[in-house]
Structure 1
Amino acid sequence: MQKAIKLTLLTTFLTSFVSCGFVNHIEERSAQINHQEDTILQLSKETRDLQYQISKLKTEIAALETKNQYLTVQLKESMGESPARARGIASVAPLEDATDLVKFDVYKWKPDQVLAVAKKEFSAKNFEKSAQFFYTYKKQFPGDKKMDDQFLFQAGVASFESGKHYDWAITNFSKLVEAYPTSKFYRGSKLWMALANLKVGNEEEFFIAAEEFRKKYRNTPEWKILSTHYEKIVQRHKKN
């Protein structure tokens, strides 16, 4: 009987000891797992932060490269030096048009150089020079992927604001409207294209666009601009 009691007490003690040890083991493992999860989350956050910084630096580098290309071009122009001359070519073809601000045959521009100047001059509101560089880019490097909706919009605005190249403006805006119907520049392009058509005397095309804005976009800033011209033309036709 005493042996049975002792055996029972021993069994109870061992069970309690094993249970306590097991619980402690579980708690230690849980703490380790929680620590590992916290470490992983922290590393993930640091990785995202680093990726953001890398993306930001790449953008800044691209902007600096564009600026550097533009400054290089300006330096060569100020020195009267062309890339062809710098490579040791003795002579270049004479200019045929004194109003040509690009001088592509002289300077043998690379695509990135032409685009850098076009955008820089656009930002500076030198629209005639910007329009010529955009036009040259399209002519010399057709099908380039950089000719997206923003390119077409800026090229169109520069052409219109130059006061000389309304046909270029219509071509650029027409291409944007056709190729990028979901672009954020879509409605603006329709406005500029309508005004360009008005400038070259295509009043019918202007009225078609104006009617579309009057019916679909009546509460937009674009319609406020168009409506002024629209009313003036209507009044003029009534007088005639």
Structure 2
Amino acid sequence: MKTVNSLFFGLALMSLTSCSYVEHFEKRAQAINELEDKILVLSKENQEMNNKLMQANYKIKTLESKNYYLETQLKDKAPMKESYTKRTIASVARVDSNDLVKYDVYKWDAKEMVSIAQKEFDSKNFEKSAQFFNAYTKNFPNSKEVDADFLFQAGVASYESGKHYDWSEKYFTYLTKKYPTSKYYLGAKLWLGMSYLKQNRKDEFFAVVEEFRKKYRNTPEWNILSGHYEKIVQKYKKN
């Protein structure tokens, strides 16, 4: 009888212990989930703070540049002293008013340049975005950031700027050669053809169109071109 009672007691204890462990693990899992949610929120807030800090640094550098320019102008206008040789306009580095990067002035680091290029791209400020992408490739030519995503975005920005079709040609050509298996490959070819057309290089443009017609007829890119194919052919033949 004692053995039976002991057995029942043991089973009951195991049952209670098992329930206790289940409740413990459920509470632990809930606590972990809540902690993960908090970490995610903090991570997003941290990213937003980093973006704001980067924008603030950009404004600070802009103000510093303007302040330096004003100080230079004031020194040039100050009365000449015997021990002071007045700085002439010719000795001051000329600032290209079309240069929106001004790398020599601001000395951007790589992370700042990419962030600004992408931010301006998202805001559809394609001229500024294109200039930052282009300046980045010049100042950081061996950067690992220059991947298929970078090249495609830089190419689109350059094309959409309405000015830098030679840049877009450069990016899309490099992308198609270095990343032939990329998801951007056909898109880059399409944009490359349009870059040729904008530069009035009709033979190269028509070659791209023909390549799509022969090789990529079942693609979204060909669907874009096919609606205009006959017009393109007629216009090409007339010219």
- TM-score range for the pair, normalised by the shorter chain length: 0.7 to 0.9
Structure 1 residue 112 and structure 2 residue 111: aligned? yes
Q: Which residue of 2 aligns with 1:154?
A: 153
Q: Which residue of 1 aligns with 2:199?
A: 200
Does the CA-based 8 Å contact 1:67-1:116 persist in structure 2? no
Q: Which residue of 2 aligns with 1:24?
A: 9
| Cα distance in 2, alignment partners of residues 215 and 129 from structure 1 | 37
Q: Equivalences for 1:1-240 in 2 at 5 Å?
A: 16-77=1-62, 79=63, 81-82=64-65, 94-95=93-94, 97-215=96-214, 217-239=216-238
Helix, strand or coil at the partner of 1:102: coil
How far residue 153 of structure 1 moved from its aligned partner, in angstroms, is 1.7
Does the CA-based 8 Å contact 1:169-1:193 persist in structure 2? yes
| Cα distance in 1, alignment partners of residues 174 and 126 from structure 2 | 20
Does the CA-based 8 Å contact 1:207-1:230 persist in structure 2? no
Tell me how many residue pairs correspond in the alignment: 221
TM-score (norm 2): 0.75
| Cα distance in 1, alignment partners of residues 195 and 13 from structure 2 | 76
Aligned CA-pair RMSD? 3.3
Contiguous gaps of at least 5 residues in structure 2:
76-86
How far residue 122 of structure 1 moved from its aligned partner, in angstroms, is 1.3
TM-score (norm 1): 0.75
Q: Which amino acid is 1:176 matched to?
A: L
| Cα distance in 2, alignment partners of residues 184 and 49 from structure 1 | 37
Contiguous gaps of at least 5 residues in structure 1:
1-15
| Cα distance in 1, alignment partners of residues 152 and 188 from structure 2 | 7
How far residue 155 of structure 1 moved from its aligned partner, in angstroms, is 0.9
Give CA deviations for 1:206-233 in whole Å, capped at 9, x if unaligned: 3343334335543544223323554333
Does the CA-based 8 Å contact 2:61-2:106 persist in structure 1? no
Larger mean Cα displacement after TM superposition, 150-159 or 46-55: 46-55
| Cα distance in 2, alignment partners of residues 184 and 38 from structure 1 | 48
| Cα distance in 2, alignment partners of residues 52 and 171 from structure 1 | 44
Give CA deviations for 1:19-53 in whole Å, capped at 9, x if unaligned: 12212212311331243134224423532453354
